[in-house]
Each structure stands twice: as structure tokens, then as C-alpha cells.
Amino acid sequence: MNRNHNEIIKELYESTIDGLYRFAYFKLQSQEEEILDLIQESFYKLSLELKAGKKIDNMNAYIYKVLGNKIIDYYRKQKSVSLDEHIDVHGDTFEGGSNIEDITHAKLEVEKVYRILAGLDGFEKDIFLLRYVEELSPKEISKIYDIPVNTLTVRLHRIKEKVSSHLIDPNETNE
């Protein structure tokens, strides 16, 4: 690799910061300071690995994996409420909309998605967000979790069916 490690990290940062922030936000909600700290720690770890000469095949997958591990460590250290409990408490934080009807409708849709995601286990939630929110490829996600692509694809299909059935079902109630 002829490029400077700092240039590589800068390019990766610029191309992934928005996605990394969203990924962390879904787990930590409105804890912006913690989100930014964990992202910074993830890039610092990447920097150390590159300087140590570690060969990283897919930087994008690697940085998501590091951030996911940092978030897990953060929750272990804090012994704070789970994501599901946090969503129950803070799920109503919504900004935007031009009138009360728009805000209410958007809020209800967001709450419905949070309820559906709360019904998934941690792994399912993570791979769903990485695939359909962050738009990572199954190959990238399989590298993050070190599982075969076919296994991941089957899991994603089942999760997508589960989520879709809840979104389409007009009789769904608050579970």
C-alpha cells in the first residue's frame, strides 16, 4: 500500500461517518457524545492496527465490526438500560414535520418500527440495520460477523419477512 495510513483513514471516515453514526444511534439513541466518542475510538483502533502492519481486506466491514464491539463494551461498562428499554423511554424523540398531523403520523411510524425491531434479538437487529439501513452487502456483513454469506442471506430473508409482516399487517396492535 503506497498511501499514507492517515489518508486511508481520512477517506474511510469521510465515506462511512454518516452510516456509522446511524448504526450507533440505533443502539444508543440520543447519546450523541457517546456515539461520537465510540466512533473516534473505533478509528483510533483502526489506526493502531494499520500502524502495526495488520492487513485488513475490507476496511468498511472492519470499522463497523469495531464500532459494534465498542458499543457492546460501552453497555457492559455502563450497565445501563438495554436498547429496548431505552427505546421505550426515549422512543418519542422526533424532530421535524410541518404540522401536528405530519409529526404524529411520522412519530407513530417510527414507534412502530422501534416496536418491530425490539422484537428481534440483538444479532437480527444488527444485521437488519446493516443491510437495510446502512446498505452494506451481505458479503460485508458476513465478514463483520464471521459467518458464511449463505447463512447470512437466509437469516436476512427470514428477518425481512418477519419485519414486513408486521409492517403490512393492519391489525397489528402494540405488543
**Per-residue model confidence (pLDDT) at position 110:** 67
Task: Count the neighbouring beta carbons within 10 Å of the beta carbon of residue 147.
Answer: 14
pLDDT in tens, the chain (175 residues): 446 888 889 999 999 998 898 888 887 776 788 889 999 999 999 999 998 888 888 898 899 989 988 988 887 776 544 444 544 544 444 444 345 666 666 667 767 777 787 888 888 888 888 888 778 889 989 888 889 999 999 999 998 888 888 777 555 544 4
pTM of the model: 0.56
**Per-residue model confidence (pLDDT) at position 93:** 44
Residue 166's contacts (CB-CB under 8 Å, 6 or more residues apart) are 112, 115, 116, 119, 172
**Per-residue model confidence (pLDDT) at position 40:** 93
Look at the chain and count its residues: 175
C-alpha to C-alpha distance for 153 and 56, rounded to whole angstroms: 23
Q: Which domains does the chain have, with CATH numbers?
A: 1-80 (1.10.1740)
- Kindly state the cell numbers that stand for 29: 439513541
The amino acid present at 40, given as its one-letter code, is Q
